[in-house]
């Protein structure tokens, strides 16, 4: 069953964290979100998978939150395999963080584990404040790269610029990211509102941290002259122009996908959406593909982490879930339309339409800058509010 979740503003989440166990500074300030060494990940020295399964069965059930509805399929597969009732709940990342923070403070925990797309809040607040913790399955440890263990990266996904292949059979109608700032695409570019989608806000802040050179080169490729701007960087100039060009802001990637790729679509539009929505091509007869060859990139990749509630009432079942999602049997339900597993032995299952080489086609989120994303989030959000019209 799909559940409708309200969007919690980022500012509210940052204020909420002040109610949680303190890390030595007021939540939302640079001190509270400063990059500090995370507590070490937990690894059971005498790990026994069979013993973990038996202990989890005695606990009887668990609840896992995720921003993707795919968690419901993961839950069905987990229950079928282990006979343990698992409920997978689709919930926006900000709401999940808020609920887990409140439950922890009240000693009334109902969420046993969660999948986090918002690495900034996870690494800058939830883990340091002891609300959640990282557990690494010892028998899979050697299959997980050291940099992916703390926090534990379950998988990586991508958000891409997509178009309708029936309306544009010759390929994507835009070739350069700066095309979207042109009057011809005013009101024809759809994306989730950055104020309600942490991964989009993170993309914008990361563009400013390590994407400016690529944006400057793309500008010169398009206009034949160097970029001149009064903004602090090329990223801020692109964001200002995008925000001012009347983008259509949606509340979900599903809405974006419907507007771009539905069979009855009549106008050429570009959507900025998760590759998971390419499932609509088969399920609903949509016609959509990544803007292959777009300069300087066709979208961005980002990590999704898994963490266990520190006060979970079903800690063994939560650990078993983590083990499950770190195997192909579990993660395939999350990366079935494209994505990569945090387990290096699990290979990508499919190439999403138009996305054949993640290393060259995508702008990549730098996990080392996720806490900085959290620090700069309010600045970026305020800039978007001022420029979007």
Q: What is the pLDDT of residues 169-205, one digit of tens each?
A: 999 999 999 999 999 999 999 999 999 999 999 999 9
Q: Is 347 among the domain residues?
A: yes
Q: For position 374, what pLDDT does the model report?
A: 93
Does residue 14 sit in the same domain as residue 151? yes
Range of the domain at 349: 10-156+303-355
- Digit-coded pLDDT (tens) for 328-338: 999 999 998 88
Q: Report the pLDDT value the prediction gives residue 337, as an integer from 0 to 100.
A: 82
Integer distance in angstroms from the first to the last C-alpha of the chain?
36
Is the distance from CB of 279 to CB of 261 less than 8 angstroms? no
Residue 360 belongs to a domain: no
213 and 174 housed in the same domain: yes
Mean pLDDT for 272-289 is 96
**pLDDT score of 349:** 85
CATH number at residue 148: 3.40.190.10
- pLDDT score recorded for residue 287: 97
Handedness of CA 11, 64, 303, 7 (dihedral sign): negative
Whether 213 and 320 share a structural domain: no
What's the whole-number average pLDDT of the chain? 90
What is the per-residue pLDDT for 336? 87
What's the pLDDT score for residue 348? 86
In a domain, 96, yes or no: yes
172 shares a domain with 146 = no
Instruction: Quote the pLDDT of residue 12.
Output: 41
Q: Is the pLDDT of residue 5 over 80?
A: no
* pLDDT tens-place string over residues 55-96: 999 999 999 999 999 999 999 999 999 999 999 999 999 999
Structural domains in the chain (count): 2
pLDDT band at 36 (very low <50, low <70, confident <90, very high): low
* Predicted confidence (pLDDT) at residue 313 exceeds the cutoff of 90: yes
* 294 and 316 co-located in one domain: no
Residue 369's pLDDT band, with cuts at 50, 70 and 90, is: very high
pLDDT value, residue 16: 37
Q: Is the pLDDT of residue 356 over 70?
A: yes
Q: How much of the chain, in percent, has pLDDT values that exceed 70?
A: 91
What are the residues whose beta carbons fall under 8 Å from the beta carbon of 49, sequence distance 6 or more? Answer: 139, 323
Residue 139 lies in a domain: yes
Q: Where are the beta strands (DSSP E) in the chain?
A: 61-66, 85-90, 113-116, 132-133, 152-164, 189-192, 248-250, 270-274, 288-290, 299-309, 340-341, 363-364
Residue 4 lies in a domain: no
At residue 234, the pLDDT reads: 98
Residue 5 counted as domain residue? no
pLDDT value of residue 350: 86
242, pLDDT greater than 80 = yes
Please report the DSSP string for 19-83 in residue order.
Answer: GSPP-SS-TTSTTTTS--PPPPPB--TT--HHHHHHHHHHH-EEEEEESSTTHHHHHHHHHHHH-
Residue 363 lies in a domain: no
> Within this chain, do residues 19 and 78 fall inside the same structural domain, yes or no?
yes
Are residues 17 and 150 part of one domain?
Answer: yes
pLDDT of residue 116: 96
For residue 17, is pLDDT > 60? no
Same domain, 117 and 187: no
Q: Tell me if 167 is assigned to some domain.
A: yes
> Is the pLDDT assigned to residue 30 strictly greater than 60?
no
In tens, the pLDDT along 96-120 reads 999 999 999 999 999 999 999 999 9
Report, as an integer, the average pLDDT of 201-214: 97
Residues 324 and 293 in one domain: no
* One domain, residues 181 and 116: no
Q: Are residues 21 and 140 in the same domain?
A: yes
Q: For the chain, give me the number of helices (H) and strands (E)?
A: 14, 12
Q: Is the pLDDT of residue 243 over 90?
A: yes
Q: pTM of this prediction? A: 0.87
| DSSP classification of residue 123 | I
Together in a domain, 279 and 328: no
pLDDT, residue 389, reads 76
């Amino acid at each position: 069953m799909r559940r409708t979740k309200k969007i919690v503003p980022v500012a509210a989440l940052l204020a909420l964290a002040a109610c949680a166990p303190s890390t030595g500074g007021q939540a939302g300030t640079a001190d509270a979100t400063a990059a500090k060494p995370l507590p070490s990940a937990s690894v059971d020295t005498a790990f026994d998978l069979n013993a973990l399964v038996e202990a989890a069965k005695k606990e009887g059930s668990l609840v896992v939150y995720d921003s993707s509805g795919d968690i419901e399929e993961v839950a069905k597969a987990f229950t079928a395999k282990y006979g343990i009732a698992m409920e997978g709940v689709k919930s926006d990342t900000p709401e999940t963080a808020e609920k887990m923070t409140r439950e922890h403070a009240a000693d009334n925990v109902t969420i046993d584990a969660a999948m986090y797309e918002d690495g900034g809040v996870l690494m800058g607040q939830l883990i340091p404040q002891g609300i959640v913790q990282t557990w690494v399955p010892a028998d899979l440890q050697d299959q997980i790269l050291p940099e992916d263990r703390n926090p534990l990266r379950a998988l990586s996904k991508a958000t891409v610029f997509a178009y309708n292949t029936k309306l544009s059979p010759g390929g994507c109608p835009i070739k350069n990211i700066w095309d979207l700032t042109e009057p011809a695409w005013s009101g024809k570019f759809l994306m989730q509102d950055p104020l309600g989608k942490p991964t989009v806000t993170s993309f914008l802040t990361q563009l400013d941290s390590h994407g400016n050179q690529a944006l400057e080169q793309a500008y010169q490729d398009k206009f034949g002259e160097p970029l001149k701007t009064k903004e602090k960087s090329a990223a801020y100039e692109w964001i200002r122009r995008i925000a001012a060009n009347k983008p259509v802001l949606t509340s979900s990637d599903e809405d974006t996908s419907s507007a771009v790729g539905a069979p009855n679509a009549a106008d050429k539009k570009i959507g900025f959406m998760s590759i998971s929505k390419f499932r609509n091509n088969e399920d609903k007869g949509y016609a959509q593909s990544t803007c292959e060859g777009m300069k300087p990139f066709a979208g961005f990749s980002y990590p999704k982490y898994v963490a266990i509630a520190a006060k979970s009432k079903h800690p063994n079942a939560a650990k078993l879930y983590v083990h499950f999602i770190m195997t192909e049997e579990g993660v395939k339900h999350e990366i079935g339309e494209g994505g990569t597993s945090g387990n290096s032995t699990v290979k990508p299952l499919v190439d999403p339409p138009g996305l054949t080489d993640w290393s060259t086609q995508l702008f990549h989120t730098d996990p080392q800058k996720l806490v900085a994303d959290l620090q700069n989030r309010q600045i970026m959000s305020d800039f978007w509010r001022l420029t979007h019209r």
